[in-house]
Amino acid sequence: MHQKLHDRIKQSLAVAHKLCESTPTPQYTAAPDPSMLENILKECEDTDFWMNFRKAAPIMFCVAVEGDKNLQMQRDMSFIEELLKAKSLLNLMDDKIEKKGLFDVVDYSCAQKMLENKLQILNALNVSVEEDGEDRVSFNLYGTNKSVVIDKKLLK
């Protein structure tokens, strides 16, 4: 199990190194602070601004497929399927924990985080600020009191 985790970390580091090569970054940085490992989950959380990517991307993708009825139907069915599956998994996990059944805490923690991310995306697809219509869609920006309005025709 440790080797698998180590291999996944190495793969992610390779991606990070490649991204750094193509991204303007300072030539030198401070050595990583080992104390970050003391609260690693908190350190890995997204900033408010970064949360906007998670929220905006699904909205823009879903708006982009509106012109095709088949894709629109797939989008709607996928939303429903993902929502019901996430709800079912959360209910099963909750029941097992409440009944003090045996389970792998690490697996459940990772699954919970994945389901939390999925629910954030589903929620982003379901929330708008102003009245959406045929011509536009809108959403709040995390960490601000502002909203973004997307002109659907321009996006397409």
Where is pLDDT greater, at 87 or 127?
A: 87
pLDDT at residue 150 is higher than 70: yes
- In percent, the amount of the chain with pLDDT more than 90 equals 8
Radius of gyration over every alpha carbon of the chain, rounded to an integer in angstroms: 20
The string of pLDDT tens digits covering residues 81-94 is 989 999 999 999 99
CA atoms of 15 and 17, how far apart (whole Å): 5
Strands (E), the chain: 136-140, 147-151
Q: What confidence tier does 5 reach under pLDDT thresholds 50, 70, 90?
A: low
Tokens of 154: 């321009």
Residue 137: exposure state from Cβ atoms within 10 A (0-12, 13-18, ≥19): buried
**CA distance linking residue 132 with residue 137, whole number of Å:** 5
Q: Report whether pLDDT(129) > 60.
A: no
The pLDDT-based confidence of 6 (bands split at 50, 70, 90) is confident
Amino acid at 68: D
Q: Tens of pLDDT along 92-118? A: 999 989 898 888 888 888 888 888 888
Tell me the range of 5-9, 20-24, 80-84 where mean pLDDT is highest.
Answer: 80-84
What pTM value is reported for the model?
A: 0.58
Task: Give 143's DSSP letter.
Answer: T
Q: Residue 41 above 60 pLDDT? A: yes
B/e letters for 19-53, b = 16+ CB within 10 Å, e = fewer, are eeeeeeeeeeeeeeeeeeeeeeeeeeeeeeeebbe
Confidence at residue 44, expressed as pLDDT on a 0 to 100 scale: 78
Taking the C-alpha atoms of residue 5 and residue 8, their distance in angstroms, rounded to an integer, is 5
Q: Which helix (H) or strand (E) holds 135?
A: none
pLDDT at position 127? 53
Bridge partner list, 147: 140
Residue type, position 156, single letter: K
How big is the chain, counted in residues? 156
Predicted pLDDT at 19: 81
